[in-house]
Chain A
Amino acid sequence: MHAFLAIILTIITASTPLLLAALGELVAERSGVLNLGVEGMMVMGAVCGFGAGYLSGSVWVGVLAAIVAGMAMALLFGFLTLTLVTNQVATGLALTLLGLGLSGVIGEPFVGQPGVKLGNIHIPGLSDIPLVGPLIFGQDLLVYASLVLAAAVAWVLFTTRAGLIIRAVGDSHASAHALGYNVIAVRYACVLFGGACAGLAGGYLSLAYTPSWIENMTAGRGWIALALVVFASWRPARVVAGAYLFGTVMILGFYVQSLGLGIPSQFLSSLPYIVTVVALVVISGNKTLTRANTPAALGQPFVPDR
């Protein structure tokens, strides 16, 4: 039972960064921008979060630094793809390569250093209920924040005017422009939001999940988050489900390893990646689902004529 609880708790913390990053990318893609640089923004969030937390001693300074780092990377991406109208795929890749390289350089002095850790909350009474207590009332704040964020994104996107404008821009930027909406501004805002989330996700990795800095510690989670958005057909509720599904696969892999069944650890470590490919195939193969839900303007360049 204890082990079971431990596994569930780990699944939650493993899924949270995926959820955060995927939510941010979902909003960006809903506005029509494909940002493949999630991995780069995430790893920069991880290193800046860790470094700021280490240097200041405060985990929340670290969290803030992670968010800012993600947004700074996103701003660079936005400037290229929205103002200079560069190819979104190539620019996203460039962002990832830059992020991975830059984080390696920035992080060198921090390798092996002990960091600050985001603590779990404790509500007297509630958190002490056996089993359920720590599960529901004993997570760290960012876990709750990620779920609240998912609800907030859904609410904004589907019930407010702002969300309607975002979805309109992602459906047809030409029509949105003709109606007088500032397509570029809307997209900048969504891309920056995506960057903040990705940065926060990275910060979560280095401040809560495994409080430390290791080069390339995101290990492809940013790419998995991208696949998650497709898998969830751009709907926040499904992103939550998908993130927890992937988190489960990741953690179960570790668990099975610890059972010593003789299955090679590398195979178990490769499971999340294989499952990602399978999930992609399953969703993409369903043409009606994808065609109806994909933001029509996704990835397409927009230059307003004057």
Chain B
Amino acid sequence: MPGTSADRAGTCLLEASRIVKRFSGVTANDEVTLKVAAGEIHALLGENGAGKSTLVKIIYGALQPNAGELFWMGEPVTIASPAAARDLGIGMVFQHFSLFEALTVAENIALALPGRYDLAALSENIARVSKDYGLPLTPSAVVADLSVGERQRIEIVRCLLQEPRLLIMDEPTAVLTPQEADQLFITLRRLAGEGCAVLYISHRLEEVKSLCHNATILRHGKVVAEVDPTRETAASLARLMVGGDVHDVKATSPEHAGETLLALDNLSLAADGPFGVALKHISLDVHAGEVVAIAGVAGNGQGELFLALSGERTTSPGDAISMGGTPCASLRINARRALGAAFVPEERLGHGAAPGFTLSENVVLTRHSGKDGLAAGGFVDFARAAELNQRISRDFDVRKGKPDPEARALSGGNLQKFVVGRELDRQPKILIVNQPTWGVDAGAAALIRQALLDLARSGSAVLVISQDLDEIFEIADRIAVISRGELSAAEPARGLTTERIGLLMAGAHEKARQPVAEAV
């Protein structure tokens, strides 16, 4: 294992000196300085909007700084494009993958590499390098068949094939199970041991503490600290990132388990198309007054479960899903809303709200039937919808440029507050929400989580599907894990550890599937 940062005597590989970058009025990077040495795993910490991606895009050649200099191995350089960055030896693994579902692993990597097109030789290389670094891949596998963790391996192996000196990783563990994350850390530590530097962008503080030698913390575009994370606590790091104490969500424990408001009994649903996930024998009870969370890494059936619960896909038998005691698995979405349920899907723009329509029209979207009275006699009461819009915006602090803009004009956090608020405004007995604070700023996220808790404590049943374990531990009373379309039994949050959740996430994986790698 490499030594601690105190012994680090590796040569300084990359130095970013007083980098400034402005975008129409906003200073994204304000005199930022960063030093990464060979063999070092260096964390770049900061909230959304702190300037991390901008800095990294400059290092990767996708953007040019307005002022400041970059030094590579002591020599000043201009990195004019990602190709230039790659020539220097800088590789980057993005948070959002650039992959082609219908093509194979080898074809995907070939598209990202310059040079002669020789698929056979490349496939051999891929098999060898991927196995070597503990991230095995089958070159002829079609990407559409791979899990998210396996897809990330493609991105990493693509970088490794070009023998990088500096590897930049942007939020890599967001899509991994805890065990997959551990495997990734082994790979990264090995790379560091071989002299490769790693620039690790994350907001996962525990990870950073266990993995990284140094950390640079950005806030509002400026460097606020350079620390050794092994000597800090998660709380002190958080304080540096946010610049004050983080608001805690006021979690209170439920008084007692109320009546069962939402019951899933042996729910099964066939996969929708060749790339979907089938749901298998899912059972779960959610009681009045509690928040139940379903944890899981993306692509394990969360979306399919949401569609089955909302009624956008119906199933049988009718009592596989019951709301308020009424069997409803064969009922469609508005019938379920009439039973007192409300839904917030994962994709706010395009599913939860229609982008080209105004907010008041989006109120009509989910509230035109039933007791809201927005569509009596076939005519829509747009005036009343506008009133509801104002009430929702006020109660949930939705910030918008004008009273009734199009949904697409709102920022992510504000639109999410609107979508969640629109449903909470109906005071539903049952709320089912998928990824409540994905891509949302810290302030809006805290507001939404508090609202979910308050709804539960007022006597409703709240079911949260989330990939964010921190969020789950913050608000859930009981936690279940979804993996490959199967649901584990829900256990009280207090007793659960991240390790156990990780095992539950990976459990069905190993049972049901062949490993991706084949012995080469």
Contacts and interface: CB of A to CB of B under 8 A. Distances in A.
A–B proximity contact (CB within 8 A)? yes
Interface of A: 160-161, 164-165, 167-168, 171-172, 174-176, 178-181, 287-288, 291-292, 295-296
Given A161-B110, A165-B111, A180-B83, A287 B273 contact: yes
Given A164-B117, A168-B103, A291-B275, 15 more contacts: A160-B117, A161-B117, A164-B111, A165-B111, A168-B111, A171-B103, A172-B100, A176-B98, A179-B112, A287-B273, A288-B274, A291-B273, A291-B274, A292-B102, A296-B101
A292 B274 contact: yes
B101 A171 contact: yes
Interface string B86-100: 000000001001111
B361 interface: no
A153 B310 CA distance: 46
A171 B100 contact: yes
A253 to B, nearest CB: 37
B107 interface: yes
A148 to B, nearest CB: 23
Nearest to A161: B117
A178 B98 contact: yes
A168 B274 contact: no
A164 B103 contact: yes
Given A160-B117, A164-B117, A296 B83 contact: no
Q: Is the interface of A mostly helix, strand, loop or mixed?
A: helix
B82 interface: yes
Interface in B252-275: 273-275
Nearest to B112: A179
A141 to B, nearest CB: 32
Nearest to A175: B98
Which of B99, B102, B110 neighbours the largest number of chain A CB atoms within 10 Å of its CB?
B102
B413 to A, nearest CB: 20
B270 to A, nearest CB: 12
A304 to B, nearest CB: 13
A176 B275 CA distance: 21
A167 B98 contact: no
Contacts of B100: 167-168, 171-172, 175-176
Contacts of B117: 160-161, 164
Contacts of A167: 100, 102-103
A225 B273 CA distance: 27
Given A160-B117, A164-B111, A165-B111, A179 B103 contact: no
23 contacts: A160-B117, A164-B107, A167-B102, A167-B103, A168-B100, A168-B107, A171-B100, A171-B101, A172-B99, A172-B100, A172-B101, A174-B98, A175-B99, A175-B100, A176-B100, A179-B98, A179-B111, A287-B273, A288-B273, A291-B274, A292-B274, A296-B101, A296-B102
Contacts of A295: 102
Contacts of B98: 172, 174-176, 178-179
A165 B108 CA distance: 10
B297 to A, nearest CB: 21
B343 to A, nearest CB: 26
A176 B101 CA distance: 12
A37 B112 CA distance: 34
Interface in B232-257: none
Contacts of B112: 179
Contacts of A165: 111
A291 B102 CA distance: 10
A255 to B, nearest CB: 41
Nearest to B99: A175
Which of B97, B100, B101, B112 neighbours the largest number of chain A CB atoms within 10 Å of its CB?
B100
A288 B274 CA distance: 6
Interface in B107-164: 107, 110-112, 117
B56 to A, nearest CB: 14
A171 B102 contact: yes
Nearest to A174: B98
A137 to B, nearest CB: 36
A305 to B, nearest CB: 12
Contacts of B82: 180
A296 B273 CA distance: 14
B398 to A, nearest CB: 25
Nearest to A170: B102
Nearest to B96: A178
Interface in B188-205: none
A121 B273 CA distance: 50
Contacts of A296: 101-102
Nearest to A180: B82
A165 B113 CA distance: 12
Contacts of B107: 164, 168
Given A180-B83, A288-B274, A164 B110 contact: yes
A29 to B, nearest CB: 13
Contacts of B273: 287-288, 291
Nearest to A178: B98
A287 B117 CA distance: 33
A296 to B, nearest CB: 6
B289 to A, nearest CB: 43
A177 to B, nearest CB: 8
A84 B311 CA distance: 39
A181 B83 CA distance: 12
B278 to A, nearest CB: 15
Give 4 closest A-B pairs by Cβ, nearest first.
Answer: A175-B98, A161-B117, A178-B98, A171-B100
A164 B275 CA distance: 22
Interface in B9-55: none
Contacts of A171: 100-103
Interface string B438-481: 00000000000000000000000000000000000000000000
Contacts of A175: 97-100
B104 to A, nearest CB: 10
Contacts of A287: 273
Contacts of B99: 172, 175
A139 B503 CA distance: 68
Nearest to A181: B111
A165 B110 CA distance: 10
Which of A164, A167, A296 neighbours the largest number of chain B CB atoms within 10 Å of its CB?
A164
A124 to B, nearest CB: 43
A174 B99 CA distance: 9
B142 to A, nearest CB: 9
B308 to A, nearest CB: 19
Nearest to B142: A292
A180 B111 CA distance: 10
Contacts of A180: 82-83
A239 B325 CA distance: 56
